[in-house]
Copies of this chain bind each other. A is one copy, B any other.
Amino acid sequence: MTRASAKAATIHEIAKRAGVSIASVSRALNGKPGISEGLREHILAISREIDYRPSAAARQLISGKAAVVGISLGRKDIELRPYYILLYQHLTLALHRQGMVPVFFAHDQTARLPDSAGAAILLGEFPGDAREAWLGERQVPCVRVGESPSGFSVGLDERHGLYLATRHLVERGRRHIVFVGGELASPHKHLRLMGYRDALHEAGLEERLLSLPHEVVDASLTSYRYLNRWLVSLGKASTEPGHDLAFDNLPFDALACATDELALGCLAALEDHGIGVPQQVAVTGFDDLPTLADQLTTVRQDIEAVAERAVVLLGEALAGKPAQHVTLPVELMVRQTS
């Protein structure tokens, strides 16, 4: 990439450099027939050289419709989460940089998508999710954010992420590490569970799950309630009547949570029971949500990179290139809760 020139290079610039007409340049750039391979190669090389970017506006003007990308959301209860807000923001930005216009679609409006959008980014998979197949039938190029058995997709190394978090807890001397997660049926959550298991088995420790219900109004509230309930029952079972909380000998010393939101709920419950973090119990999350997770030891995913890659892949899908899956790395952020 050369320096950002004052004026973006146009098709004319390429034509001039190649000594051909703009028609040929257009044909070469768009993979249209009716041009010799040699010339095409030459033109493509020049366009790469000067970092040519087509004008979305001009293309729209001709085609009569904007390069609208439908962002198809997941189920309502899932999509209303902080993580998605961040993803929206970055997708919007990344699409705009490519001259594309983002428009949101609820997942159950997928049928209306092909009318107004020429491509789609699929978010929030769920059991029985038929959007990808449906769009595929209608030849709408699309990219999925998350794991996908086929087609274009960009995902995270979820399994490795929870492995890192759990191994970190082991390294800190924790021996009774509980996995806190809901929706274990959900594919990527399941991957996180597997990462937890990887680390536990490696250390020869036994697994223990705090499994949360599937339908959830609020992840933090849910994890709070479940952990609280557990702690209350532990207190009741204690031998000291009156002083209902005997947490000197907790059956766990760490909570590896599937998301930051779950971790936040757990932290609140521990706090309300006067349990020291990380002294008595260490807590880890996943996502690294800004502001909310500032204190939390967690697995950072680069949401901006996810959005960026999704848009790049969408470009390839539109160009008819073969499908591919990209897995982005994650990073352990050690902070104050472990």
Contact = CB atoms under 8 A, between A and B. Distances in A.
Contacts of A221: 218, 220-221, 224, 264-265, 268
A242 to B, nearest CB: 10
Contacts of A96: 66, 68, 101, 103
A220 B224 CA distance: 11
Interface in A60-93: 60-61, 66, 68, 73, 76-77, 79-82, 84-86, 88-89, 92-93
A: interface residue count bin:
35 or more
B102 A92 contact: yes
A239 interface: no
A80 B82 contact: yes
B79 A85 contact: yes
Nearest to A61: B57
A52 B268 CA distance: 54
A239 B268 CA distance: 29
Contact of A264 (B86, B93, B218, B272): B218
A88 B76 contact: no
A185 interface: no
28 contacts: A55-B60, A55-B61, A56-B60, A57-B60, A58-B61, A61-B61, A68-B96, A73-B89, A77-B291, A77-B292, A80-B292, A81-B82, A84-B85, A85-B88, A92-B92, A92-B103, A92-B104, A96-B101, A217-B264, A218-B221, A218-B265, A221-B221, A221-B224, A221-B264, A221-B265, A224-B224, A224-B225, A225-B272
Given A56-B57, A218-B220, 10 more contacts: A55-B61, A80-B292, A92-B102, A217-B264, A217-B292, A218-B261, A220-B221, A221-B221, A221-B265, A224-B225
Interface of A: 55-61, 66, 68, 73, 76-77, 79-82, 84-86, 88-89, 92-93, 96, 99, 101-104, 217-218, 220-221, 224-225, 261, 264-265, 268, 272, 289-292
User: Which 3 pairs across A and B sit closest by C-beta, in order of nearness?
Assistant: A57-B60, A80-B82, A76-B291
